[in-house]
Amino acid sequence: MQVECPITTTPLERRGSAASERLRAARVLGAALAQLQARSRVSLRDAACRTGLTPSDTVRILSGAHVPPWPVVHLLTRAFQGDPAELRVLWECSRGQVHSPRMSAEGAAGDLAAALRGLHLAAGCPPLDQLAHGDVLSAAAAGLILAGRLLPDWPATARLASALGGRPSDVYVLWQEVHSTVIALYGSFPPPREPGPPLTDVPNRKDP
């Protein structure tokens, strides 16, 4: 009987894979910042003045060639009139960091929606109908997920991340956090509720 040997990787191969993932995430982060810069029409020179960077450093960041500390990304995002929360997870991926868990269902869901909006921004904000995929994800559902008004299951989340040029692994920890938090608080996923109000209006604990 033929027995298949498990595929193993060496520590060097694992380090190389992790470095490759950080480079990919750096390019995604840079693309998101470049989209914000183009949308805001703030010149690179003005952005550099506002953040204390040189114009050449700003270009390197927006090209994905350099990933600065989070305070610099925060300042650049603000300079380009963007929401830093939407770029936080992209920055964490580019640094190989693990996202810090939230304690509330709405906080975890907000982090997931913000991360997906960051991918949407980095992809150039494609129309919703380009993100749809059969019964897994409709255009309307994609819009609600990005707006933070719909808790997606994993197939829809993975499809949306992939359609936006990211990898499902970029947001899996966030989705898992939302799923486990909602199950713990409400006993089911998604939680029982009437459609309509924003997700942030949902209480963060079970009723007694």
pLDDT score at 208: 36
Whether 117 and 124 have beta carbons less than 8 Å apart is answered as no
pLDDT score at 102: 62
Q: What is the pLDDT along the chain (208 residues), one digit of tens a residue?
A: 444 444 444 554 445 567 888 899 999 999 999 999 999 999 999 999 989 999 999 999 999 999 999 999 999 999 999 999 999 999 999 988 766 666 677 888 899 999 999 999 999 999 999 999 999 999 999 999 999 999 999 999 999 999 999 999 889 989 998 888 888 877 877 766 544 444 443 333 333 3
Residues 122, 145: Cα–Cα separation, whole Å = 17
Q: What is the DSSP letter of 137?
A: B
* Placement of tokens 């309307």 in the chain: 140
pTM listed for this prediction: 0.80
pLDDT score at 16: 56
Whether 182 and 192 have beta carbons less than 8 Å apart is answered as no
* CA distances in angstroms from 37 to 124, 142, 176, listed in the order given: 12, 25, 32
Whether 161 and 167 have beta carbons less than 8 Å apart is answered as yes
pLDDT score at 11: 52
The fourth-level CATH superfamily of domain 21-84 is lambda repressor-like DNA-binding domains (1.10.260.40)
Listed in sequence order, the DSSP H helices in the chain are: 11-40, 44-51, 55-62, 70-79, 85-95, 105-122, 139-146, 154-163, 168-186
Residues 7, 87: Cα–Cα separation, whole Å = 35
pLDDT score at 185: 79
pLDDT score at 99: 67
Q: Which of 77, 94, 115, 127 is nearest to 23 (CA)?
A: 94
pLDDT score at 47: 92
pLDDT score at 104: 76
pLDDT score at 17: 66
Instruction: Give domain limits for the chain.
Output: 21-84, 105-201
Give every CB contact of residue 140 below 8 A, 6+ residues apart in sequence. 128
Residues 12, 14: Cα–Cα separation, whole Å = 5
